[in-house]
């Protein structure tokens, strides 16, 4: 396992994600967890403020490093003896710099918290987390704000079986299964039956065969549902099978947000320990 990179803004949500990452590192055998802060100059909207009062980059860098050291002390108690904590800060935009930060730190996984304070009233994924999950080529685990680490033993892959050979990232999926030794469940919402009462349409059958071929060495368990309420179907499956990690492939715009917006908070409200892993092909 490579290192784990944890972007942080030093908030309570970020501290929670940091704790989760350190405990996950023990299960995965990750040698190092790097806490990363991308800092920027604040936007100045008052034209009357003299330019000389703007914070310079050296000052921002100093503040970032000091905050990271304090953050490191806070999460140190959760660090397993087999893992090392490191810090890394740079002047950058978070969503633009993470792939490069992963490359320079030898990280193969990003763990992030989600912003927002109220499960029932707020949109929970902040723009930074959403942007990173959508665009990073490195797998991203999004940790809900009240999550507590549980050993990953049951993994749920959400797949619509659409062009499976081109959309399912087999190698990252195989890697997380091998490292966690978890059982894999592949979950698909079936199409409606046709006028002849066919319950397993030919196009789904073809894609199903492709998925079986791609994932056969991982020995997954396949589950299909006709529940038209996708979120309710996921929620029920998570409960029944004690899922510890949900994996999604963000093919459709807005899907990541839809898992966490206020209209779908019941899933997190009932299962706030379940992180979401976003993996790109």
Buried b / exposed e along 56-70 (16+ C-beta atoms within 10 A): eeeebeeebeebbee
Candidate from 115-119, 151-155, 211-215 with smallest mean pLDDT = 115-119
Candidate from 20-24, 121-125, 152-156, 178-182 with smallest mean pLDDT = 121-125
DSSP 280: -
DSSP-derived pairing of the beta strands 107-113 and 84-91: unpaired
Give residue for tokens 């706030």.
272
Q: Is residue 39 predicted with pLDDT exceeding 80?
A: yes
Do the Cβ atoms of 76 and 83 come closer than 8 Å? no
Do the Cβ atoms of 80 and 26 come closer than 8 Å? yes
Q: For residue range 154-207, list pLDDT tens digits in order.
A: 999 987 655 555 567 788 888 999 999 999 998 876 655 555 444 444 344 445
Burial zone of 279 (CB within 10 Å; 0-12 exposed, 13-18 middle, 19+ buried):
buried
Q: For residue range 82-97, list pLDDT tens digits in order.
A: 999 999 999 887 777 7
Q: What is the pTM of this model?
A: 0.81
Mean pLDDT of the chain: 77
Domains and CATH numbers, the chain: 1-149 (3.40.50.620), 153-275 (3.40.50.620)
> 3-class DSSP state for residue 146?
coil
State the Cα–Cα distance between residues 52 and 75, nearest whole angstrom: 37
pLDDT given for residue 191 in this prediction? 53
């Amino acid at each position: 396992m490579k290192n784990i990179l944890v972007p942080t803004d030093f908030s309570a949500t970020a501290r929670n994600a940091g704790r989760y990452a350190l405990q996950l590192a023990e299960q995965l055998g990750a040698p190092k967890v790097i806490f990363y802060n991308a800092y920027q100059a604040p936007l100045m909207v008052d034209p009357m403020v003299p330019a000389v009062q703007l914070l310079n980059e050296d000052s921002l860098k100093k503040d970032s490093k000091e905050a990271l050291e304090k953050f490191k002390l806070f999460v140190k108690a959760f660090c397993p003896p087999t893992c090392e904590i490191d810090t890394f800060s740079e002047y950058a935009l978070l969503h633009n710099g993470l792939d490069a930060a992963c490359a320079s730190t030898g990280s193969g996984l990003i763990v992030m918290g989600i912003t927002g304070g109220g499960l029932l009233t707020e949109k929970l994924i902040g723009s930074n987390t959403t942007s990173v999950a959508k665009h990073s080529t490195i797998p991203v685990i999004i940790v809900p704000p009240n999550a507590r680490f549980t050993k990953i033993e049951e993994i749920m892959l959400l797949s619509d079986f659409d062009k499976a050979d081109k959309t399912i990232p087999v190698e990252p999926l195989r890697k997380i299964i091998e490292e966690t030794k978890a059982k894999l469940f592949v979950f698909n919402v079936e199409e409606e039956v046709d006028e002849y009462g066919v319950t397993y349409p030919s196009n789904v059958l073809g894609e199903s065969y492709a998925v079986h071929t791609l994932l056969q060495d991982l020995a997954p368990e396949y589950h299909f549902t006709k529940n038209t309420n996708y979120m309710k179907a996921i929620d029920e499956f998570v409960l029944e099978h004690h899922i510890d990690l949900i994996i999604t492939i963000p093919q459709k715009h807005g899907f990541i947000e839809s898992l966490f917006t206020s209209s779908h908070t019941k899933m997190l409200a009932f299962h706030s320990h379940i992180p979401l892993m976003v993996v790109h092909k």
